Structure 1
Amino acid sequence: MTTGTVRDATFDVLRRTGMTTIFSNPGSTEVPLLAGLPEDLEFVLALHEGSVVGMATGWALARERPALALLHTTAGLGNAVGAIATARVNRAPVVVVVGQQDRRHLALEPFLTGRLHGLAGDYPVWVDQPARAQDVPGAIARAAHEAVTGRGPALVVVPMDDWTADWDGTVVAAPQVVARPTAVDDADLAPLVALIEAAESPVIVSGAGADSPRTWEGLVALAERLGCPVWQESFGARAGFPQDHPLFAGILPAGRAGLRAALRRYDAVLAVGAPVFRQYPYEPGPLVEPGTRVAIVSDDPAEVHRSPAELAFLADPGVVAARLAALLPARPHSPEGVVRAVAAPSRPTAGEPLRAAHVMHELALRLPPEAVVVEETPSSRPDLHRLLPARRPLGFLSAAMGGLGFALPAAVGLRMAAPYRPVVAVMGDGSAIYGIQALWSAAHYGVGALFVVLANGRYAVMDRLAEKNGAGKAPWPAFTEVSLSATARSFGCPATRVDTYGDLVAALDEIVPDLGSRTEPLLLEITVIPDTEFHP
């Protein structure tokens, strides 16, 4: 456009980049942008800024294109920093626009002036405050490209008076389309082909960066070509391989001793879409046994650059996996096989309390293959991985950063972006409390996700870690007074409390068959006893 306001020109940018859904919890500095919003732009209100960015994160991951989050100056950005950090580590392309006081008297630091530069730390992949109002549309267009290329949140600070400034047809300083070729030359792959060919017993480690239909297809072909098992990276935020495939070996241990033991039989390890290697507790010693050769394929530069590998390929994992499957000679499957024996938990007797494993097992019996499970239940994550495999790309999602408050808003945004897929968020009650405000958005906008809350009335994972570290009794109390079902209803979200196995089966039998077509959220608060063991 050649006339109008900066606001009008920005709306054109949003239309062109597909960012027509605006997730926000606005304040006065955002009113000039939002008042009288055009009907073709959808506004989605969240009741906390963490939920704003969390919902945008889920939306971006489901659509695989930038989502727009609009925040209110210092308080809004400050409240959202944890969610911005999670979006970065989850590789979610989110454009974060932050309101600022009127440019014309910023020098006087009026009320609501934000000292915004650096407030989000290094977590944004790109940050800009345009030098003049007419540069705002170009900055937002560039932020969309930066978010996709950098695989994370890109942040633009906009003073509130910029929106009503005249737009005089100034050049938008960003391309309309950015092409990102993914071809890989066979000659470039020659060293990796030679490394794998020389191995007697290769193994693949897949990660969150391999979670796409093309990469799943390529990795399945490669694993079957090599007859080798596929492990999932520990603490992976997404599943990089079908977890019901016969060659899927399980989740790698998060400590070095366990990692070495799991990979001891293999003389070559190929990490695809995963770093070398993600860990949690520090343990001394090498990552793999001496003599084991390690290679990595990832499209994340930071992941590649920090991995202690013999060979590293900064390239599209799906393209590389498919070419390797074509270039490498076929091998027989390992004689001992890698089929995992998954024992279902025994059905509780009358009066016996529910455990998290009972809930995971019953969900696994009912959920269709295309279901998306969003996880945030640290103390029972091993049960979820063991009993509830991801069978489709984006079938599993969790917070790569580890901070609480992700699953509930992410499930809302994801279901909004992918209404054709059943979405279940499985959370501990301690985790759900951090993102509980998103239930209002789910109810108000008719988001038919299922929220399964495993309620043990405490931070069970913290209790287990305190015991493991020999610290004696943990000083923090339980919070058994909290009722998540009552809280959900207060936000307008239907909720049911489940205390027995019979109630659990009845509730899931009623809900799951229609989960893909629901237009109303539901929270199930399921009383479980804390697990006695936790293995990170």
Structure 2
Amino acid sequence: MRSVRDAAFDVLRAHGLTTVFANPGSTEVSLLSDLPDDLEFVLALHEGSVVGAATGWAIARQAPALALLHTTAGLGNAVGALATARENRAPLVVLVGQQDRRHLAQEPFLAGRLEGLAGDYPVRVETPPRAQDVPGAIGRAAHAARTARGPALVIVPMSDWAEPMEELPVPAPAVLLQSSGTDARSVAKVAGLLGAAVSPALVVGAGADDAATWEALTELAETLGCPVWQESFGARAGFPQDHPSFAGHLPGDRTRLRETLAPHDFVLVVGAPALRQYPYATGPLVHEGTRLVLVTDDPGEAHRAPVDLAVLTPLPAFCAELAGAVPPRPAAVRPDFRRRAAAVEPPREGEPLRAAHVFAAFAGRLPADTVVVEETPSSRPDLHALLPARRPLGFLSAAMGGLGFAMPAAVGVRMAVPERPVVAMLGDGSSLYQIQSLWTAAHYHVGVIFVVLANGRYAVMDRLAELQGGKPPWPAFEEVSVSAMAGALGCPARRVTDHAELLRELDAVVPTLRDRTEPLLLEVAVEPDPIFVP
């Protein structure tokens, strides 16, 4: 007789969930022992790395990924990464182990109160009432992960997998189709507003990061002859950042935001919150004469947006129809809004390296389709200026803002799209949050280049304390060697301390990016950057 486990494997196969990212515990052994040959197991050494790698995989594949967590300890360790997955709109099916159903009422060792542990970050949490309901719950989680674009959790008692499966249909649709069409009236409404605007502008965000939407927004920007801004704190690029219409990244404070958008009487926000801020400041988002309209496929963004009009719609089709519906503006030439980065001069003899020197060295060498996974809070503006995203999925960061995303996410991205070069840019403080993921990269031959900018401190926190007029109480950690830890985890690593050495390393490594099957960590000693204002 077929078991619940057998039926669950069939559901996983039907949804393409055949790669299992996991850090197993005893409550999951009954599922994982003698795993079928067509299911691939990927071990990570911490649950944050499990979910981080699955998140990178899901974003790169634009399809749900499967993660397995161990009861209370595992789910608890992964909550921050699940929050990031939710904010990054990454579809995940997460199976969480639980103690044996037959004595759960007595709260045995390793039993967990799991349903509320991750808070509101999962898009769905289900504990099946019977063992035989587990396969259907997995199918429902796969659909929820796709439609709500986030982590969907299924909590499974360890005894359920061996139970006999009844010969009834699994209560979840085998295939769920969503309409990709648009409402012609919505297109006409937004097109009319754009056509009537004297000085329109576009703001794009992570939701627009796919080839079809980039193409449509490029046509729209060229038709309008208007600038295109990237949302502040964007986790992905919503527009080709080397295009003449790209004006740069919006500032993250309200005063500078108002001034940036002041020349425009109409701002269309596509695939981004309207408009994300940090830190808090008083006053309106935009001047009284500026009208805001949002187009998004995220219900949460639409519901909370302080805009005149919000349109909830699939973005590729809507943007394509909108680009065709807007008449060209009477401009003699197409303007060039690009803000070209100031030339970065190499450091003089004896001068220390800075982050900008590292980014500038990469800028002329990286292939256009490189995926840059970022976690360098203190030097992010320099990275944006010097390493613009030139292809969809060209830039990836943690929408939540928490640390510990970039290293495992880069592993997951490269595993999902091995034809794309992948470079992770991290601060040394950031790298320590999920340093364990280097073992996964080494063991599974994942050819990511990890560039760790080592200044021996939490530089962005130091700068924020200085902006408050205070002195940080936390110490530096200059004695920490990330390259030594990488070596201990089986990942090849080298430490770079001067510019000439950096250039030699990049000339040797960058040409191998597309085909390499071995990770490499470059720990680059840098001087902390000046005060960074988001």
TM-score by length of 2: 0.99
How far the C-alpha of 1:535 sits from its partner, in A, is 1.4
2:294 to 293, 296, 309: 296
Kept after mapping to 1: 8 A contact 2:245/2:335:
no
Residue of structure 2 in register with 1:245 after alignment: 243
Contact residue 90 and residue 399 of structure 1 kept, 8 A: yes
* C-alpha separation in 1, matches of 2:430 and 2:14: 37
CA distance in 2, matches of 1:49, 1:150: 23
C-alpha separation in 1, matches of 2:332 and 2:483: 49
CA deviation after TM superposition for structure 1 residue 341, in Å: 2.2
User: What is residue 113 of structure 1 aligned with on the other side?
Assistant: 111
1:311 CA drift (Å): 1.1
Quote the residue 2:342 is aligned against: 343
CA displacement 1:121-146 (0-9 Å, x = unmatched): 00000000000000000100110110
Distance in 1 between residues matched to 2:416 and 2:191, nearest whole Å? 39
Specify the alignment match of 1:263 in structure 2: 261
Q: Provide structure 2 residue ranges, at least 5 long, that are not aligned to the other structure.
A: none
CA contact (8 A) 2:214 2:392 kept: yes
Contact in 2 for aligned 1:344/1:387 (Cα 8 Å): no
Contact 1:204 1:231 in 2 (8 A): yes
SS at match of 2:164: coil
Alignment of 1:179-190 (within 5 A): 179-190=177-188
Residue of 62, 65, 69 corresponding to 2:63: 65
Worse overlay, 177-186 or 275-284: 177-186
| Partner residue in 1 for 2:279 | 281
The equivalent of 1:236 in structure 2 is 234
Query: Does residue 529 in structure 1 map to residue 518 in structure 2?
Result: no
**One-letter identity of the residue aligned with 2:276:** R
Which amino acid in 1 is paired with 2:397? S
Number of the residue aligned with 1:415: 414
Corresponding residue number in structure 2 for 1:210: 208
Are the structure 2 counterparts of residues 232 and 77 from structure 1 closer, same or farther at C-alpha, using a change threshold of 3 Å?
same
Q: 2:42 maps to which residue?
A: 44
Per the alignment, residue 457 of structure 1 pairs with: 456
Paired residue type of 2:373? V
Which position in structure 2 is the counterpart of 1:162? 160
Mapped contact 1:226–1:333 kept (Cα < 8 A): no
Alpha-carbon distance between aligned partners in 1 of 2:104 and 2:298, rounded to the nearest angstrom: 38
Distance verdict in 2 for CA 1:336–1:210, change over 3 Å: closer
Q: Distance in 2 between matches of 1:149 and 1:528?
A: 43
CA displacement, residues 21-48 of structure 1 (integer Å, 9 cap, x when unaligned)? 0000010000000000001000000000
Distance 1:500 1:170, change over 3 A: same
Q: Is the 8 A contact 2:23 2:46 kept in 1?
A: yes
Calculate the aligned-residue CA RMSD, in Å: 0.9
Kindly provide the CA deviation profile for residues 341-368 of structure 1, in whole angstroms up to 9, marking residues without a partner as x: 2112111111111000000111111100
Residues 470 and 305 (structure 1), Cα distance of their counterparts in 2 relative to 1, 3 Å cut: same
Q: CA deviation at 1:335?
A: 7.5
Cα distance per residue 1:55-113 (max 9 Å; x no partner): 00000001111100000000000000000000000000011100000000001111100
Give the number of equivalent residue pairs. 533
The alignment partner of 2:67 has SS state of strand
Please identify, of 329-338 and 166-175, the stretch whose mean Cα deviation from structure 2 is larger: 329-338
Alignment of 1:510-521 (within 5 A): 510-521=508-519
User: How far does residue 333 in structure 1 lie from its aligned partner after superposition?
Assistant: 6.8
Q: What residue number does 2:467 align with?
A: 468
Whole-Å Cα distance in 1 between the matches of residues 26 and 168 of structure 2? Answer: 27
Rounded Cα–Cα distance in structure 2 between residues aligned with 1:34 and 1:185: 46
Aligned AA for 1:188? S
Q: What letter is aligned with 1:345? A: V
Q: How far off is 1:336 after superposition?
A: 6.1
Aligned partners of 2:202 and 2:268 also within 8 Å: yes
Counterparts in 2 of 1:312-391, with a 5 A limit? 312-331=310-329, 332=331, 337-391=336-390
**Structure 2 CA distance, aligned partners of 1:4 and 1:465?**
59
- Aligned twin of 1:223: 221
Matched residue of 2:364: which SS? helix
Segments ≥4 residues shifted beyond 4 Å: 333-336
Aligned equivalents of 2:466, 2:413: Cα separation in 1? 36
Q: Which residue of 2 aligns with 1:403?
A: 402
1:171 Cα deviation after fit? 2.1
- Give the Cα separation in 2 of the matches to 1:314 and 1:172: 32
Could you tell me how far apart the structure 1 residues matched to 2:504 and 2:99 are? 54
For residues 116 and 280 of structure 2, the distance between their equivalents in structure 1, rounded to whole angstroms, comes to 30
Shift of 1:470: 1.1
AA matched with 2:429: G
8 Å Cα contact 2:188/2:325 also seen in 1: no
What is the CA–CA distance in structure 2 between the aligned matches of 1:183 and 1:213, rounded to whole Å? 17
Q: Deviations over 1:172-223 (max 9, x none)?
A: 1111111111111322322212211110000000000000011001100100
Moved more, 328-337 or 127-136: 328-337
Distance 1:185 1:172 in 2: 34
Please point out which of 136, 140, 143 is paired with 1:142.
140
In structure 2, distance between residues paired with 1:217 and 1:57: 25
- Tell me how far apart the structure 2 counterparts of residues 432 and 335 of structure 1 sit (CA, whole Å): 43
Distance 1:160 1:216, change over 3 A: same
What is the CA–CA distance in structure 2 between the aligned matches of 1:234 and 1:354, rounded to whole Å? 27
TM-score, normalisation: structure 1: 0.98
Of 189-198 and 155-164, deviating more is 189-198
- CA displacement, residues 438-497 of structure 1 (integer Å, 9 cap, x when unaligned): 0000000000000000000000000000000112x1000000010000000000000000
Q: 1:334 to 1:230 in 2, by over 3 A?
A: farther
* 1:293-312 deviation digits (Å, cap 9, x = unpaired): 11010000000111111111
2:257 and 2:98 map into 1 onto residues whose CA distance is: 48
- Name the CA shift for 1:336/1:371 in 2 (closer, same or farther; >3 Å): closer
Letter aligned with residue 66 of structure 1? P
Q: Which residue of 2 aligns with 1:440?
A: 439
